Amino acid sequence: MRNSALLYTFNFEHLATFAHMRLERLSIINYKNIQATNLTLSPKMNCFIGHNGAGKTNLLDVIYYLSFCRSAFNSKDSEVIRHESDFFMLEGDYAADDDTHEQIYCGMKRGTKKHFKRNKKEYKRLSEHIGLIPLTFVSPADISVIEGGSDERRKLMDVVIAQYDRTYLDSLTLYNKVLQQRNSLLKQEDEPDLTLMELLEMQMAEHGEKVFTKRDAFVKELIPMFEEIYATISSSNERVSLGYSSHCQRGPLLEVIQRDRMKDRIMGYSLHGIHKDDLQMELGGFPIKREGSQGQSKSFVLALKLAQFKYLQRTAQDNTPLLLLDDIFDKLDASRVEQIVRLVSTDNFGQIFITDTNREHLDKILENSNFDYKLFAVEGGEVTERGQTDVQT
C-alpha cells in the first residue's frame, strides 16, 4: 500500500489555488460567559489556550454563529445572552484574497428578534447568508454523529450541502412542512380527507427526491476523501466504511410512502421518507458505535469533518472554509495526534481556529510550521493575546 500521508498531501496540492476568506477582527459583547472582547486575528492560525469552562469553545461558537446565523450548541438565541445581561452583539470583519471585505453583524435584545446584517444591510431571510462564509467545525459534541440518533447524521449532511446549494434548504424546509401536515392528518380520529392526503404525499415525494438526489451525490463524493483521511490518521492500520441509506433507494418515493399509508395511520406518523435517511458507519465491517474505542470513534468523526472541509473547499464558490478545531486531541494516542498535527500544519488549509487545554499539542503544530499565528489565553471569559510572531522551521 502507498504511503497514506503522501497520498493525502498529493491530493490536496491543487487546493492551495482556491480563494480564502479570512476573519480579521472579531467583536463580542455578552455572549455566554464572554462579557466583552475585541480580537485582531491571524490570517492563518489562531490558538486559544485555557482550562475547561474558560470560554474557549464559546469563542469558536461565535465564529460559527456568524456563518450560520445560530449557535452550534443552543437552539434558542436567548440562551446565548450572558447571564444578567439584556442583549448580545457579535461583529466580524472578513477579507478575501481579492481584497473585498465583508462586515457581518448580529445583535439581539431579550424578548425581541435578532438582527443579522451584511455590510450594514439587514437580511430579509437568514437562509440568504448561509454559504457566504463556509465553515467546518470539529467539536467533542460531534461524537453524537456516532452515538446519537439518525437525526444527528442527517444534520451532518444538511450543514454541508446547505453551504454550497442555496436550493437545498428550500427543498428540505418544504418537505418538513408537508411532512408535519401529513402527520397531523394521520393523527386525526376521523378518516382523513383522501384528496388532501394524496396531495401532501405528492409534495412530500417531490421535495424529498430533490433532497435525496443531493444527499446521495454528496455522500458518494465524500466517501473516498473520508477513507483516505482516516487511513492517514490511523497510519492505515484500520479499515473504515461509510454508506448512505434512504427509502428513495426502494423506488419512486411516492409509491414507497403510499404503500404503507394504513400502517402510518395506525402509528399516527409517517414511517417512510427522507426524514428517515441515515448514514452507515463501520469499522472493520462492523458498526463503529458497537466496535470502536474512544480514540477510533473520535478519529472517525475527525476524518469525516476534514473530508467535509475538503469537499466544501471544492464546492462552496471555490472558497476555502474556515476550520474550527475544538479540543480535538483528547482521547487520542500519540501516533494519531502526530498525524493530525502534520495534516493541519500544511499550507493546504486556510484560516484555522484551534483550542486546547494542553499547550504541548499546539506547540508541536507551531514549531513544525512556518506560518503566521496568534496565541490567546482564555480565562473566565476573558481573552488575552500572548503575542504574534512568525515561526521559521
Q: Is 57 annotated as a binding residue?
A: yes
Q: Is 331 annotated as a binding residue?
A: no
Q: Is 51 annotated as a binding residue?
A: yes
Q: Is 220 annotated as a binding residue?
A: no
Q: Is 361 annotated as a binding residue?
A: no
Residue 121 exposed, middle or buried by CB count within 10 Å (0-12, 13-18, 19+): exposed
Place of cell 404525499: 201
Q: Is 243 annotated as a binding residue?
A: no
Q: Is 52 annotated as a binding residue?
A: yes
Q: Is 114 annotated as a binding residue?
A: no
Residues annotated within the binding site are 50-57
Residues belonging to the binding site for ATP are: 50-57
